[in-house]
Chain A
Amino acid sequence: MAGFLSTLRRIYLSLYNWTVFVGWFQVLYFAVKALREGGPTTVYGFVERPLQLAQTAAVMEILHGLVGLVRSPISATLPQIGSRLFLTWGILWSFPETRAHILVTSLVISWSITEIIRYSFFGMKEAFGFAPSWLLWLRYSTFLILYPTGITSEVGLICVAVPYIKASEKYCIRMPNKWNFSFDYFSASILALAIYIPGMFICIFFVYPSQAMCRKKLFSLSSDHITNIGRKSTHVPVYAWAAQEGSLQVKDG
């Protein structure tokens, strides 16, 4: 019974990871197509649907973590998925005035390349039991560039949207009301911006060094295959945008 369930889990996760991989591949494909045909201002129009689908599908990962299907700490996946959904739906979809901005291009490119690498990595591990070392190398190396460009694009686009958020009063709930509740989307967006600062701080001082340590450890060994067993929790939980859901160790020999 246990063997059957574990196989089911592998099949499901393989399907999930490869499906979302295809989604992000489409995003990148359409983004490049847009750049060649219409230029940066047209990128959003080309990528909107696959972007929304692929990004929203990631909500499943919270569920996977909660029910124990994968080993990720939801404390790491939640902030990332939160910020992604905020940008995709709360900024780009809600405020069309932002869509023509150049940062949309850098955002979409950064996200799609990272996710393509990440989902293919997990797709490989679940379907075939290993991931080629060049893929692992890509994961740990591209994050050094894509993370800053991605975050800059996210923060930048929020800033671009802020004047429109303030003027439109969209998603705002005012008092008085029976449930004594209020919500100001403008203040919430400013708060979101503020949270990026400690987030970046954590990344520069904890994630980057621990990633560097990981890379040194993993690439100084000459094994071709990396299989997943279980990682010691002595490392600081690595920010999910760049790293993975906590199951990585080099196979001996």
Chain B
Amino acid sequence: MKVTVVSRSGREVIKGGIELHDEATVSDLQEAIHARTKKYYPSRQRLTLPMQAGIQGKPIVLSPKKKLVDYCDGNVKNLTVVFKDLGVQVLYRTLFFWEYLGPLVIYPIFYYFPVYKYFGYEGERVVYPVQTYAMYYWCLHYSKRIMETFFVHRFSHATSPLSNVFRNCAYYWTFGAYIAYYVNHPMYTPVNDLQMKIGFGFGLICQVSNFYCHILLRNLRNPNGNGGYQIPHGFLFNIVTCANYTTEIYQWLGFNIATQTIAGYVFLVVAALIMTNWALAKHRRLKKLFDGKEGRPRYPRRWVILPPFI
């Protein structure tokens, strides 16, 4: 069959189109486009079916594993696809590694080195136990994240745009430094012992739960399947759609209860807002997919992310 590849403005991206055998997959097409253009490796290509004039809605994205004939409506000899360049891509693993490495390295710098001299605080620092435990807790958290990135998570998309590296690193590294500055400050005021224990204890329980949630999510995602979506189940997923985000938020709450800094709480709120955004989208997507029709199961009534609020 002949595939015509056009840009969104109608211009032909591959002059003369591409000839492929009838059983070819989208992935084969992507390889062929890469061979013809050199610059556009497959993860940079976004291929969609042309939008019908007058019909609203999102364009249908071609899935790499499917066959091209699945997207042909009748005419098996010709197919037109719309090409979009997603820009330079990096592996999600790479992105996550760099964004988590920052906090892991920056926080101990504030703990171990005489950084506060440069802020005008001369003299020896008295270090409270809570500050030491906070440093261990923080480093444990980000080490865990890096570990999960390489050994646990299964990513639905392999890559992310390069610009996200700068944006995400700015977010994590800046907040990391902001919180580290206050918790390790020479004039830091610790909370009482019981509050510290409750905070770290609760936080650790949530971190372990969070890890377990990630294991469960990993096992949900098997390579064969309907676009990778399944109804999450097991452990807290039976009552919350995004139990992984729930445990993450509560884990930071534990850290903040123990360390009590405005900086830490600001980070908690911002992170919770970002995750809630994601959770709402995921919950909506799952409810739409599992609508109970045509033999599909119905998505059960569940909290979205943060019982008892939402």
Contact = CB atoms under 8 A, between A and B. Distances in A.
A176 B261 contact: no
Nearest to A181: B262
A180 B180 CA distance: 11
Interface string A147-178: 00000000000000000000000000001111
Contacts of A181: 182, 261-263
Interface string A181-204: 110000000000000000000000
A179 B187 contact: no
B207 to A, nearest CB: 22
Nearest to A174: B187
Nearest to A175: B187
Q: Which range contains the number of A residues in contact with the other chain?
A: under 10
Contacts of B182: 180-182
Query: Could you say which of A176, A177, A178, A181 has the most chain B C-beta atoms within 10 Å of its C-beta?
Result: A181
Classify the interface of chain A: helix, strand, loop or mixed: loop
B188 interface: yes
A176 B261 CA distance: 11
Interface of B: 182-183, 185, 187-189, 259-263
Classify the interface of chain B: helix, strand, loop or mixed: loop
Contacts of A175: 185, 187-189
Interface of A: 175-182
B262 A176 contact: no
Nearest to B259: A180
Contact of B183 (A179, A180, A182): A180
B263 A176 contact: no
A176 B260 contact: no
B188 A179 contact: no
Contacts of B261: 179-181
A178 B182 CA distance: 12
Given A178-B260, A180-B262, 8 more contacts: A175-B185, A175-B188, A180-B183, A180-B185, A180-B189, A180-B259, A180-B261, A180-B263
Nearest to B181: A182
B192 to A, nearest CB: 11
A86 B296 CA distance: 54
A129 to B, nearest CB: 22
A97 B193 CA distance: 48
Nearest to A182: B182
Nearest to A232: B8
